[in-house]
Amino acid sequence: KPANDCPADVETLGRSTWTLLHSIAATYPKAPTWTEQNDLKSFMKLFSKLYPCWVCAEDFQQYIKKRDIRAASRDEFGNWLCEAHNEVNRKLGKPTFDCSKWEERWRTGWKDGRCD
């Protein structure tokens, strides 16, 4: 494993990026304004073009074309993002994540209190 102060490989970049994206979902309003919804969609579309892993970016752009970004509420975007992440998990042969638990993982912490 390379030291911490080396350029990010695809895995490190991916983990950090999912942390950012799911955290954006966690703090997204329950009832976003039209502007907030548009900002989020624009951000995700630009993100999918700029993501510095070109195969990843290409596939993610295709995914967004196939499954329109859903941003009408925190719940909607959180689930949309969870499904998008699961699509990448499947592609990489990783286990899929139970999307009914995305808020426990990324917003509230687990019900057993281990994040408190």
Can you tell me which of 6, 31, 50, 92 binds ligand FAD, judged by CB under 6 A?
92
Range in contact with ligand FAD (rule: CB under 6 A) among 1-9, 34-42, 64-72, 88-96: 88-96
Residues binding ligand FAD: number (CB under 6 A)? 22
Residue nearest to ligand FAD (CB): 14
Within residues 64-83, the interface with ligand FAD by CB under 6 A covers: 82
Binding pattern to ligand FAD, positions 37-56, x when CB under 6 A?
--------------x---xx
| CA dist., res. 32 & res. 11, Å (int) | 32
Alpha helices, H only, 51-98: 54-66, 74-91
What is the sign of the dihedral through the CA atoms of 116, 21, 28 and 85?
negative
